[in-house]
Chains A and B, each alone.
Chain A
Amino acid sequence: MSNLSELLVSLPKSVGFGVGLDMPWGMAPGFIRTAEGDTIDPSLRAFFHRYQDDFQHVFFAFQPKDRSFLDIEYYKNAYSAFFAACERIPNRSLHHTMLNVAGGTQYDRDELIEFTNAIIDLFSIKWINEDIGIWSLFGKALPYPLPPILSSTSLDSAVAVVDMLKTKLNAPFILEFPGFTDGSAVIFGDMHAFDYFRELAEQTDSLVNLDTGHIISYQFLTGRPDKLMVDIERLPLDRCFEIHLAGSELVQGRFRDMHHGELLPQQFDLLSEFLKRCKTLRAVTYEDPKFDANGALLHNTVESYNVLRGIMTRFGNSKNA
């Protein structure tokens, strides 16, 4: 049995529709502090109350609470509140933001890994996911992750980090294709990003996450806005475990990864293609839905949500037929 098959044994057996949320501290729809302790914003609780039965998996994106050392005791109450509010969603994952795979190997990540493993063990997290990018440079966090330097030396470095993470993390680490959003990302290096990502997945024998917005952003930034399917066979489609769809828009011919809940037709096109071609796919995730204080999806995002849910329902039915 290959490592990939071994990995899939511990993961969901069929393709599920899920939801992912960025969870800032101190603002809706994230974590909040109350007299009774840390918890989640009431609007998120209401959202889960309305929609949780639609989903087979859920994740939140990690954000540090403040500038203290990472300590699971300091985060436990808030995370417990999050998962209690969506207790009927069977599978949980964590979108990390500090593993910094492409940010160099020259520092010790052991404390971070210990903290991550505590979350995995305490909340039965089934997989960890992070965009392969530079989240910090020499200890200084960037406002938006930079894609890796697309060179063979950078690739070797990233391979070493992923190999280390695979050894030390208590759950499978899924590599996410990074974003190349115009204006908040810069490209360095000679390699094609799809080749870099495929090489990284193959050399580390990893499963991957294909974020539709991130892939479209690369096609736009490299001058192929009308040829979204060009070169996608260079992606590791045979290792695709998860697909992300986050709200995006086109502004004056430029692609923006807005995470505002409204999906572009191009994202649905890519999803359809991946659903046909990715045999190891297990998760399709709607990222950062936008909802009101009562947890109802905002009017301008309902259509995106319904279209996506419809695609997944039809896909599930066709699989079962």
Chain B
Amino acid sequence: LEIQKMREAEEDALYKLVFSRSFRNFVCAYGRKGNAVADVLPDSMNARHLDLEEVERFAQMIRHKVLNNGGVGALDLAATFARSFSFLKSAGHDQSGVLDSFIESKEFAECIDLEPFGSGLCYEESLFNHLSHRYRSAFATEDSWMILNHEFLRAVMRQVTVAKNPFFHIRHPLVRKAGDGYMALQLITNSAWAEVNNSRVEEVEVGQRTILYFGGPRSVVGPISDEAAELLRCGETLVHLTKSRRLHVLKQMFADAAEVERFSALGVL
């Protein structure tokens, strides 16, 4: 038991040194005051010879990987949240500072990377949660807040489509399980929708529309009619019914039976 505790202390210290800039700074400052760094790190890690610059270089590699790795699973948070990062920048938060705060956050502690075991959130959901909580004021306008939501939902649906059986949990209230995939509806202003689609904002009509996000056997992201959105919302309240019963009820409620069949075939209902 004693050995196990020591091992866990080593792992914990290593995790903090690699992932937490504030902890590295603390260790550094602690050592500079003439204290034995071994007091804050396990003796067995040989903290006397710890090269914090080396650790810092390694930590920077990790930050770079988290932000820019476009490899496995197309994890590329900089591109996924491009517009959101630009809002953050205009509010005075540079990308590297935001990422540092993310890596040290409890949201980052909840996410899990490439290993297909255990449970955790995906990076996209973890970063979205962090931005929503820590940097809410940077998304000051209704449009910027919607765009943050949009970038998150689009990223999650893309991941769900890539990974038929994602090993991470999607537990955000905006997203629900739908058939073989996941679904979300979002009300978005026309100007915000135009911005994420690189349209000229001044040319779009004032108002808002509903966007359907569906990731599963087929991935769908785009505007839908108010009636179709209502149909999906009704379907959401009927998930306790068997599929055939649900479709029967919805066909009774909506005049356009073909629309019910279309969403059913897609897997959303």
B163 at the A interface (CB under 8 A)? yes
Chain A residues within 8 Å of B128, by CB: none
A157 at the B interface (CB under 8 A)? yes
Pairwise interchain contact B72-A64, C-beta atoms closer than 8 A: yes
Pairwise interchain contact B72-A188, C-beta atoms closer than 8 A: no
The answer for the CA separation of A189 and B75 in the assembled complex, in Å, is: 33
The answer for the CA separation of A110 and B117 in the assembled complex, in Å, is: 9
Interface-lining segment among A36-44, A134-142, A227-235, A290-298: A134-142
- For B117, give its contact among A64, A107, A153 (CB under 8 Å): A107
Interface 1/0 per residue, B25-58 and A, CB below 8 Å: 0000000000000000010111001110011011
Pairwise interchain contact A186-B58, C-beta atoms closer than 8 A: yes
Query: What are 6 inter-chain pairs, A to B, with CB distance below 8 A?
Result: A68-B165, A137-B15, A139-B120, A156-B7, A186-B54, A188-B50
Chain B residues within 8 Å of A134, by CB: 14
Supposing A98-B115, A190-B44 touch, asked if A67 and B163 sit within 8 A by C-beta, the answer is yes
Supposing A69-B116, A143-B62 touch, asked if A186 and B167 sit within 8 A by C-beta, the answer is no
A183 at the B interface (CB under 8 A)? yes
Interface 1/0 per residue, B87-128 and A, CB below 8 Å: 000000000000000000000010111111110101000000
Pairwise interchain contact A141-B113, C-beta atoms closer than 8 A: yes
Pairwise interchain contact B54-A157, C-beta atoms closer than 8 A: no
A124 at the B interface (CB under 8 A)? no
Supposing A69-B167, A143-B62, A186-B55 touch, asked if A152 and B72 sit within 8 A by C-beta, the answer is no
Residue in chain B with minimal CB distance to A152? B44
Pairwise interchain contact B159-A67, C-beta atoms closer than 8 A: yes
Residue in chain B with minimal CB distance to A189? B46
Pairwise interchain contact A107-B118, C-beta atoms closer than 8 A: yes
Distance in angstroms from A64 CB to nearest chain B CB is: 5
Pairwise interchain contact A151-B122, C-beta atoms closer than 8 A: no
| Interface of chain A: mostly helix, strand, loop or mixed | loop
B65 at the A interface (CB under 8 A)? yes
The answer for the CA separation of A137 and B13 in the assembled complex, in Å, is: 11
A144 at the B interface (CB under 8 A)? yes
Chain B residues within 8 Å of A188, by CB: 10, 14, 45-46, 50
Task: Categorize the interface residue count of chain A.
Answer: 35 or more
Distance in angstroms from A22 CB to nearest chain B CB is: 12
Chain B residues within 8 Å of A157, by CB: 7
Pairwise interchain contact A67-B167, C-beta atoms closer than 8 A: yes
Distance in angstroms from A183 CB to nearest chain B CB is: 5
Contact residues, A17-75 vs B (CB, 8 A): 24-26, 63-71
Interface 1/0 per residue, B56-79 and A, CB below 8 Å: 011001101100010111110000
- For B162, give its contact among A67, A71, A112 (CB under 8 Å): A67
B11 at the A interface (CB under 8 A)? yes
Supposing A139-B118, A141-B114 touch, asked if A69 and B165 sit within 8 A by C-beta, the answer is yes
Residue in chain B with minimal CB distance to A97? B114
Supposing A68-B163, A186-B58 touch, asked if A111 and B116 sit within 8 A by C-beta, the answer is yes
Pairwise interchain contact B46-A186, C-beta atoms closer than 8 A: no
Chain A residues within 8 Å of B117, by CB: 107-112
Pairwise interchain contact A137-B116, C-beta atoms closer than 8 A: no
Pairwise interchain contact A68-B61, C-beta atoms closer than 8 A: no
- For A64, give its contact among B14, B46, B114 (CB under 8 Å): B114
B18 at the A interface (CB under 8 A)? yes
The answer for the CA separation of A153 and B14 in the assembled complex, in Å, is: 14
B258 at the A interface (CB under 8 A)? no
Pairwise interchain contact A153-B10, C-beta atoms closer than 8 A: yes
The answer for the CA separation of A64 and B166 in the assembled complex, in Å, is: 13
Distance in angstroms from A135 CB to nearest chain B CB is: 9
Chain A residues within 8 Å of B163, by CB: 66-69
Residue in chain A with minimal CB distance to B5? A153
B164 at the A interface (CB under 8 A)? yes
Supposing A64-B72, A138-B15 touch, asked if A151 and B45 sit within 8 A by C-beta, the answer is yes
Chain B residues within 8 Å of A26, by CB: 71
Pairwise interchain contact B162-A68, C-beta atoms closer than 8 A: yes
Distance in angstroms from B224 CB to nearest chain A CB is: 28
Pairwise interchain contact A149-B45, C-beta atoms closer than 8 A: yes
Residue in chain B with minimal CB distance to A103? B11
A245 at the B interface (CB under 8 A)? no
A146 at the B interface (CB under 8 A)? yes
Residue in chain A with minimal CB distance to B57? A183
Chain B residues within 8 Å of A71, by CB: 165
- For A66, give its contact among B10, B62, B72 (CB under 8 Å): B72
Chain A residues within 8 Å of B109, by CB: 138
Residue in chain B with minimal CB distance to A27? B71
Interface 1/0 per residue, A136-169 and B, CB below 8 Å: 1111111110100111111011000000000000
B187 at the A interface (CB under 8 A)? no
B204 at the A interface (CB under 8 A)? no
Chain A residues within 8 Å of B265, by CB: none
Chain B residues within 8 Å of A150, by CB: 46
The answer for the CA separation of A140 and B19 in the assembled complex, in Å, is: 10
The answer for the CA separation of A189 and B44 in the assembled complex, in Å, is: 5
B140 at the A interface (CB under 8 A)? no
